Amino acid sequence: MTPPSGTFQTYQAKGNREDLIDIIVNISPTKTPVLSMTESVRAYSTLHEWQTDTLNSPTANAAVEGDDSSAATVGPTTRLSNDTQILTKNFIVSGTQEIVRKAGRSSEIGYQVQKLTKELATDIEYALVVNSAAATGSSVTTARTLEGLAGWIVTNVSTATANRPLTSAILDANLQTIWAAGGDPDVILSGGAQKVAIAGFTNNTRYIAADAAKVVNSVDIYQSSFGTLKTVLSHVMNTSLANQIFNLDMSYWRKAWLRPVGLAELARTGDARKFQMVAELTLESLNEKASGAVKNLS
């Protein structure tokens, strides 16, 4: 219907107050499982090094009574390293913006610190998981980068000539390979599609109360012949490594901080405040043979 002639409406009004709720809604992914699950240690140089060793395979061992001893050849340890990576977030807030009345936050600086801390954490997660190679960098043209899970895990890797669906047989075969190498994985790290594939395994058992008015199609624990593993979703794998999964023994992975996350206010050059958030760390692979990966998944 057409309103009566001369009706004064909100379209003509000039003094109505804005309807802006005092909340800022952010739906971006912020979970960082590898950053959260790995132990923290200290790094003391931009090239972080550690040593690994292996035991000889079991063999028949029987000595003749009274026999003389003979020394076996002693093998050296293996020396490994990874470069530290510097990650930063910078922002500038004008003096006016900090002082004016705002919706959803009392301090623009405080809000940006909170927001960028989450962003930095997800950037660290990306480096720890997705980075495929370390780079020493240079002071002029390139930055140092750490080697993440995608680069370290090379021994126990299941591949195929073409992408194929993930099945329990494929997963168990990789777990068996890791077990034979001495590993004991406790986490399956994957993106959303492979998490759904695991939930669809026909040999999964679910216990659902008879009176529960709900349908359950989720597997948080995978019970295999080679141990019990927790299935963990990774947002960074969902976008960058969607066609693979990692089977991880988390006790063999550590993050080494050269500089833990810190916030510094930079020198003023005008009517604004400048801030820089910095973190520098690398990933320790104490022995990549304790973990594995299944690639070429659909």
Query: What CATH number does residue 38 fall under?
Result: 3.30.2400.10
Evaluate if residue 213 carries a pLDDT over 90: no
For residue 26, tell me if it sits in a domain: no
For 183, the domain range is 33-51+78-206+215-294
For residue 99, tell me if it sits in a domain: yes
**Backbone angles phi and psi of 97, in degrees to 5:** -60, -35
For residue 113, tell me if it sits in a domain: yes
For residue 71, tell me if it sits in a domain: no
The count of domains in the chain is 1
CA distance 48 to 42: 9
Mean pLDDT of 153-171: 96
For residue 10, tell me if it sits in a domain: no
pLDDT at 22: 54
Ordered strands of the 221-224 beta sheet: 157-158, 292-294, 245-248, 187-190, 227-233, 221-224
Distances (CA, A) of 93 to 96, 113, 121, 271, 297: 8, 11, 22, 9, 46
pLDDT band for position 268 (cuts 50, 70, 90) = very high
pLDDT at 13: 67
**Cβ–Cβ contacts within 10 Å for residue 94, how many?**
13
Distances (CA, A) of 9 to 21, 72, 163, 224: 23, 96, 61, 68
For residue 7, tell me if it sits in a domain: no
CB 137 within 8 A of CB 260: no
CA distance 279 to 136: 17
Mean pLDDT of 86-104: 92
For residue 155, tell me if it sits in a domain: yes
